[in-house]
Amino acid sequence: MNSKMDTKPKFSAEKPSDETDNSSIGEGAIRGGFRAWAKKLSVETGGIERVTDEERQSNTTHVWNACTFWLSANTAVATLSTGMVGGSMGLSFWDCFAIILVVNIVSCLLPAWTASFGLTGLRMTTFSRYSFGYWGNLLVVVFSMVSTTGWNAINSISGASVLAALSNDKCPQWAGVLIICTTVWIICVLGISWIHRLDAFIWVLPFIVWCVAAGTGAPHFHGEAVKSPTGPNGAAAALSFMAVIFSFAVSWINCAADYNVRMPVNTPRYKIFWATYIGIFVPTVLVETLGAALFSGTEGNAAWKHAYQAYGVGGPLKMALEPAGGFGKFLMVLAALSSIPNNIPNNYSFAMHAQNFGPWALHIPRVVFVSCGYVAAVIVGCCAARFFPEATLQTFLSIIGYWTVIHIVVVAEEHFIFRVGRWSRYDLDTWSKQDLLPFGWGAIGAFCFGFIGAALGMNITWYTGPIAGLIGKKGANIGHELTFAFSAVTFPVLRWLEKKYTGK
């Protein structure tokens, strides 16, 4: 019954897809001339069907793609903005740096591990059916789509704020959001082959921007410009910033596998793991640290502070690059455009999430769902930029983000406890068969208990959980820790009961 990953897969599920010759997705929409055109230009026409060994022999993904893809996604202005949060919470630069380094060392391990799941030939949201169940997995689908749309909007706003600062508001933020989201949409329509081709080198451009900004802005950085609070208040600020840094890194968990499904099946898992880890960890730590340094400049320079209050992350970045003159303005454009590779995982994987709604969703072409994700991101991003602060959207996403902890807990415990860490215990041909997959009662229960933990420990703008409020005057965000504890304890019990009474 069990199918090993190094054997030829059976064709017992829906007809498998090929990125260049697909007959099961959009049969009515992708025909004749379009299919030939798509094949010639390496445009992806497939969906979430399992990529077979034979299909991986064409348009093959290489191990180094797992590194460069994430280098491009994380060498972005949104990463810079994340690093600035610690200073706004009242933490000194050196405390921010310590938290950025230590938390990322641990948190980046999680998406690096799930990235190796791509060797199954299944996207992450589809693979989750083996732990969340066929119907329980709809929770993963819905929350994934909401979170990717939100992060798509926030990341676009970060890039748009740079364009607004550069143009002195001649390019308003809503226009910047539209430019960034439209470019992302075009690339995602082309598909995975084009994505990997572009991401192989595009990370170099923002890397140059950050290097120059670090050099020209260094005279204004002040390691002691902000004095961290001590005692319970200091602990509360540190815990809350740790939650921000953790959330940024683990947000890639639900899509990391999607970009490795075309790697040869005999690719060593450890190579994918370390390539992904380096691709996420290195740029995240470096750029977030620069963000913390930029914020320190706003505390020691009135002009920098005014720029930050007017334009957000784009303000101090503009001030830091000002000594570079015209070249600095060019670098500002590159910084804004770094939001494009940062958003590709969100828009591309939105379509992969959506196709997991059921058999009917498989018959809707991937490009339709990519376009739906694009429209949703533009609407949310433009409205957020125009009508309410970015912090409001971030608050909403911080609530949605707790599900990521539940996601990784359920998948990990299913793998290590119920399948004893053996990939041979997954029948990968049953990914679409409702009668052979669990319903998902165990995961649904763990999901509910996990959010009880989140409600007790979250600390956001308009709500402080009863346990979170016990730490410091303003409370501390320990929602992730309690979410982990509640879901990790309950899932093994509930999953055991599900297996006992349903046999699946």
pLDDT tens digit sequence for 366-409: 999 999 999 999 999 888 877 766 566 566 666 777 889 999 99
150-154, 233-237, 362-366, 412-416: which is most confident: 412-416
Query: What is residue 160's predicted lDDT score, i.e. its pLDDT?
Result: 92
Considering the domain boundaries, does residue 17 fall inside one? Answer: no
Q: Which amino acid is at 339?
A: S
pLDDT of 459-486, one tens digit each?
Answer: 877 788 899 888 888 888 888 999 999 9
Q: Which helix (H) or strand (E) holds 463?
A: strand 463-464
Rounded to whole angstroms, how far apart are CA atoms 165 and 317? 9
CATH at residue 330? 1.10.4160.10
Considering the domain boundaries, does residue 155 fall inside one? Answer: yes
Per the structure, the complete domain to which residue 451 belongs is given by 50-502
Indicate whether 14 pLDDT > 60: no
Residue 248's closest CA among 381, 124, 70, 475? 70
Considering the domain boundaries, does residue 10 fall inside one? Answer: no
Residue 118's closest CA among 281, 318, 271, 265? 265
The residue that leads in pLDDT, 489 or 56, is: 489
Indicate whether 29 pLDDT > 70: no
Q: Which helix (H) or strand (E) holds 459?
A: strand 459-460
pLDDT of 235-290, one tens digit each?
Answer: 888 998 998 899 899 999 999 999 999 999 889 999 999 999 999 999 999 999 99
Query: What is residue 5's predicted lDDT score, i.e. its pLDDT?
Result: 42
Query: What is residue 394's predicted lDDT score, i.e. its pLDDT?
Result: 60
Q: What residues pair up with 459 in beta bridges, in sequence order?
A: 464
Q: Which amino acid is at 22?
A: N
pLDDT band, very low/low/confident/very high, at 35 (cuts 50, 70, 90): low
Rounded to whole angstroms, how far apart are CA atoms 39 and 499? 44
Chain centroid to Cα 90, Å, comes to 27
Rounded to whole angstroms, how far apart are CA atoms 356 and 123? 10
Query: What is residue 104's predicted lDDT score, i.e. its pLDDT?
Result: 97
Indicate whether 3 pLDDT > 70: no
pLDDT band, very low/low/confident/very high, at 77 (cuts 50, 70, 90): very high
pLDDT of 154-205, one tens digit each?
Answer: 889 989 999 999 998 888 889 999 999 999 999 999 999 899 999 999 999 9
Helix axes 366-387, 137-167, angle to 10 degrees: 50
CA dihedral of residues 365, 431, 145, 272 (deg, nearest 10): -100
Considering the domain boundaries, does residue 181 fall inside one? Answer: yes
Rounded to whole angstroms, how far apart are CA atoms 75 and 335? 9
Indicate whether 91 pLDDT > 70: yes
Query: What is residue 1's predicted lDDT score, i.e. its pLDDT?
Result: 40
The residue that leads in pLDDT, 26 or 449, is: 449
Q: How far is CA 17 from CA 307, 352, 394, 407, in A?
A: 50, 13, 37, 27
Rounded to whole angstroms, how far apart are CA atoms 83 and 70? 18
Please compute the mean of the pLDDT values over residues 491-495 and round it to a whole number.
96
Residue 184's closest CA among 343, 334, 76, 44? 343
Rounded to whole angstroms, how far apart are CA atoms 382 and 463? 26
Indicate whether 58 pLDDT > 50: yes
| Phi, psi (deg, nearest 5) at residue 464 | -125, 120
**Residue 242 DSSP SS3:** helix
| Pairing assessment for the beta strands 463-464 and 459-460 based on DSSP bridges | antiparallel
Mean pLDDT over each residue of the chain, to the nearest integer: 87
Query: What is residue 47's predicted lDDT score, i.e. its pLDDT?
Result: 86
Chain centroid to Cα 341, Å, comes to 12
DSSP class of residue 43?
-
Considering the domain boundaries, does residue 179 fall inside one? Answer: yes
Q: What residues pair up with 464 in beta bridges, in sequence order?
A: 459
Q: Which helix (H) or strand (E) holds 460?
A: strand 459-460
Rounded to whole angstroms, how far apart are CA atoms 147 and 153? 10
By the 8 A CB rule, do 258 and 111 touch?
no
Indicate whether 293 pLDDT > 90: yes
Rounded to whole angstroms, how far apart are CA atoms 438 and 233? 46
Question: How many domains is the chain built from?
Answer: 1
Please compute the mean of the pLDDT values over residues 83-108 and round it to a whole number.
93
Stated pTM of the model: 0.89
For residue 441, the number of C-alpha atoms closer than 13 Å in the C-beta half-sphere is 12
Considering the domain boundaries, does residue 76 fall inside one? Answer: yes
Considering the domain boundaries, does residue 474 fall inside one? Answer: yes
**Residue 464 DSSP SS3:** strand
Could you tell me where the DSSP H helices lie in 168-203? 173-190, 192-199
Residue 69's closest CA among 276, 283, 254, 251? 276
pLDDT band, very low/low/confident/very high, at 23 (cuts 50, 70, 90): very low
Query: Cβ atoms within 10 A of the Cβ of 15, count?
Result: 13
By the 8 A CB rule, do 48 and 25 touch?
no
Indicate whether 33 pLDDT > 60: no
Query: What is residue 437's predicted lDDT score, i.e. its pLDDT?
Result: 94
Considering the domain boundaries, does residue 421 fall inside one? Answer: yes
CB proximity list for 141: less than 8 A, separation 6 or greater: 125, 353, 354, 356, 357
Count of all residues that appear for the chain in the document: 504
Residue 70's closest CA among 214, 255, 247? 255
Please compute the mean of the pLDDT values over residues 490-502 and round it to a whole number.
94
Q: What residues pair up with 498 in beta bridges, in sequence order?
A: none
